[in-house]
Structure 1
Amino acid sequence: MKIKEINDFTLISKDATMDHIIENLNKSTYKILFVSENNKILGTLTDGDIRRYIYDKKNNLSKLKAKDMMNSKFKYIYEDEYEKLSYNDLLKYNVEYLPVLNKNMEIIKVIRIPINFQEISKLKTKVLIMAGGKGTRLYPLTKVVPKPLVPFRDKTIIEQIMEQFINSGFDEFILSVNYKKELIKNYFMDLKYDIKYIEEKDFLGTAGSISYLRFYDITKPFFVANCDVLLNIDFSEVLEYHLKENADITIVSSKENIDVAYGVIRFDEKNNFLQIDEKPNYEFFVNTGIYVLNPEIIELIELEEKIDMPELLKRARAANKTIKVYQSKSKMTDIGQWEYYKKFL
């Protein structure tokens, strides 16, 4: 359901006949045609445009041409503008298909913005990132810089996480900070991210700073993410799943597997041998540290209470809240431990 670039769009002549138009619409994966003359785009044409024209004009179908029925007031964007815009900027065009043109009005590519993606994005879902820990698993690196600012590839860890959410249409962030918080705030001072801060007075565990959200006008489901995991998924699909399942909490999981280098002995409760599984592979789903929470969950935590997420989940179950698990097919990249992090250096 992500925004995607389309290169296999269909161009037709402005003088294309109805037979040619229908044939190309049937063949088109995207059910939209781009009407052009000498490669210059003149308009767009969908089956809806055809129906509306026929209903209004009631003309002889055999004489109709593409130029008669096309939408000549279509929305588009120039190539140099497109390169500067974020996904949320593109959403403001409020169309499913947005042509990208050069200065000669020639079509370069088409951006597809699925309707479901647009509706999910209108929720203006906030993302709370837990960025206040000491990052002891990355010692000695985090004795110098806080874990969120540790470099990973061409950006910091926290920017990589934020970009993944931005690419899914979510760009409103709340950072929970504590350890070396001034370094983090100063780093983002001149960067173009939409960020608010929660400043912990003490270390509150993996869920305690959620309690501060009672002061942030949270009226819709929101994401909570740890600051050490990358997951290449479309987070708008996670939110859509959460809403569809009427969940109060959704835990994002990732499939992992372990190869056992030895034969595993199976036996019963009386130690009678059953069989040996030779070097088995075990598959299971692990917690990624990424969640979707409904606003009501905030009230399960006392203000400034120290609490970890497993305990919050227990409280939610005791309160008869619906907790769902989203099964991600993407492999999790854990960059919060030195043994894993140094593999990427």
Structure 2
Amino acid sequence: MELNDFVVIDTLPIKDAMAKMDKNARKIIYVTSENKLIGSLSDGDIRRWILKDHSIYAMVKEAMNSHPIFILKKDTDKAMAQMKQQKIESIPVLNEDHTIRNIMFKTHELVQGKKIHTPVVIMAGGKGTRLYPYTKILPKPLIPIGDTPIMERIIDKFHDFGCSDFIVSVNYKKNMIKGYFNEIERDYQMTYVDEDKPLGTGGSLSLMRDQLKETFFVSNCDILVDADYTDIVDFHQKNEHDITFIASLKITQIPYGVLQLDENGLLESTVEKPEYSHLINTGMYVMEPSILDFVPEDEFADLPDVITAAKHAGLKVGVFPVSENSWLDMGQIKEMEEMIERLGVKK
């Protein structure tokens, strides 16, 4: 569905708004004037309008709720909590000028306005030894989170934002990965790059030099990042970065009183259960093709090491932070179980 399926202008006849509401099947539309949100119209609003014997040929603005619930883009991470508190199924996300950026649903679906078409590289060649014995049977990209393999969930998230060109590096149990994605229905393109030997998250990029000619994403095959990918690309390009880390804010609390000493070893102060914040590498990046100049040819290399070499050579490396709850990782069994629980899916 497109954003236009949920948005109407205030002078549209209610009859036409009803038809649009039938099309989106969500029983809600949002009303704008000069592209800014001014109201919402639910099937309940229309029902009450009709029961008062008003005309369905009247303009939408006469029947709408003129105090719609919304959140600003900077508060997107609070959307789910607000929908639960307000007992609503969807909420529009607004830019600072109150134009509608996208619409979020309680089902975790997102209806986007602007789409991106950035290629996505997915690193799916590793053995996933930290998930043994699961990975003795299945390659890590096909381990199910609920009834959907983790890599399919990653691809679906990118596809929600318009990405349709996926380049996947494969090695361990690669025929199982190819077989699965060849069997499912999909409306995106997948190209496989076969590693004859393990090359790591950095080395495998050497096999993609001819395919990566524009800005591209890189993602590990065991993480989910719940963020606005359009924002990430805009941030990367606006700041003219060569590489952008997508980093999660991680808050760690020491569950004890911490003693701080002076230079003579005497107590200076105490801090009870202090909290410290760090930015953690999620395993997702946006890159320019210039990074490929620092990737060794047909040799094993970790991507962070490649990026460090690029930075020392003068490339511009930035960081796009997301909230702690926006990053899910399943690199280990305990983390996989936490991902399943947080996504609310059945094992």
Aligning the two structures, in what range does the TM-score lie when normalised by the shorter sequence? Answer: 0.5 to 0.7
What is the rounded CA distance, in whole Å, between the counterparts of 1:164 and 1:8 in structure 2? 26
- TM-score when normalising by structure 1: 0.68
- Residue 39 of structure 1 deviates from its aligned partner by 4.8
What is the rounded CA distance, in whole Å, between the counterparts of 1:113 and 1:258 in structure 2? 34
* 1:29 and 2:22 aligned: no
Determine the structure 2 residue equivalent to 1:285.
279
Choose the corresponding residue for 1:165, options 158, 161, 173. Answer: 158
CA-to-aligned-CA distance 1:40-98 (integer Å, 9 cap, x gap): 899xxxxxxxxxxxxxxxxxxxxxxxxxxxxxxxxxxxxxxxxxxxxxxxxxxxxx99x
Q: How does 1:187-198 map to 2 (within 5 A)?
A: 187-191=180-184, 192=186, 193-198=188-193
For the 8 Å contact 2:13–2:57, the answer to whether it is kept is: no
Aligned-pair identity in percent equals 34
For the 8 Å contact 1:5–1:112, the answer to whether it is kept is: no
What is the rounded CA distance, in whole Å, between the counterparts of 1:139 and 1:112 in structure 2? 37
Determine the structure 1 residue equivalent to 2:178.
185
What is the rounded CA distance, in whole Å, between the counterparts of 1:27 and 1:298 in structure 2? 42
- Comparing 289-298 with 326-335, greater Cα deviation is found at 326-335
> 5+ residue gaps in structure 1?
15-23, 32-37, 43-95, 98-110
- Residue 320 of structure 1 deviates from its aligned partner by 0.3
> 5+ residue gaps in structure 2?
15-31, 40-54, 60-99, 102-109, 341-346
- Residue 272 of structure 1 deviates from its aligned partner by 2.3
SS in 1 for 2:200: coil
For the 8 Å contact 1:266–1:275, the answer to whether it is kept is: yes
For the 8 Å contact 1:169–1:236, the answer to whether it is kept is: no
What is the rounded CA distance, in whole Å, between the counterparts of 2:310 and 2:166 in structure 1? 24
Choose the corresponding residue for 1:151, options 123, 126, 144. Answer: 144
CA-to-aligned-CA distance 1:1-34 (integer Å, 9 cap, x gap): x9586368635449xxxxxxxxx83795179xxx
* 1:301 and 2:295 aligned: yes
When Rg is computed on C-alpha atoms for both structures, the one with the higher figure is 1
For the 8 Å contact 1:4–1:112, the answer to whether it is kept is: no
Determine the structure 1 residue equivalent to 2:122.
129
- Residue 153 of structure 1 deviates from its aligned partner by 2.1
What is the rounded CA distance, in whole Å, between the counterparts of 2:150 and 2:12 in structure 1? 46
* 1:263 and 2:271 aligned: no
* 1:215 and 2:220 aligned: no
Closer/same/farther in 2, CA of residues 250 and 4 from structure 1, 3 Å limit: farther
- TM-score when normalising by structure 2: 0.67
Determine the structure 2 residue equivalent to 1:228.
222
* 1:321 and 2:329 aligned: no
Closer/same/farther in 2, CA of residues 184 and 41 from structure 1, 3 Å limit: farther
Question: In the alignment, residue 307 of structure 1 is paired with which amino acid?
Answer: A
What is the rounded CA distance, in whole Å, between the counterparts of 2:5 and 2:252 in structure 1? 36
SS in 2 for 1:29: strand
For the 8 Å contact 1:148–1:184, the answer to whether it is kept is: yes
- Residue 134 of structure 1 deviates from its aligned partner by 0.5
- Residue 224 of structure 1 deviates from its aligned partner by 0.5
Question: In the alignment, residue 37 of structure 2 is paired with which amino acid?
Answer: T
For the 8 Å contact 1:264–1:277, the answer to whether it is kept is: yes
Closer/same/farther in 2, CA of residues 322 and 10 from structure 1, 3 Å limit: same
SS in 1 for 2:201: coil
Question: In the alignment, residue 177 of structure 2 is paired with which amino acid?
Answer: I
What is the rounded CA distance, in whole Å, between the counterparts of 1:160 and 1:10 in structure 2? 37
For the 8 Å contact 1:211–1:299, the answer to whether it is kept is: no
For the 8 Å contact 2:291–2:307, the answer to whether it is kept is: no
For the 8 Å contact 1:233–1:330, the answer to whether it is kept is: no
Question: In the alignment, residue 338 of structure 1 is paired with which amino acid?
Answer: I
What is the rounded CA distance, in whole Å, between the counterparts of 2:38 and 2:317 in structure 1? 36
Closer/same/farther in 2, CA of residues 273 and 8 from structure 1, 3 Å limit: farther
For the 8 Å contact 2:127–2:172, the answer to whether it is kept is: yes
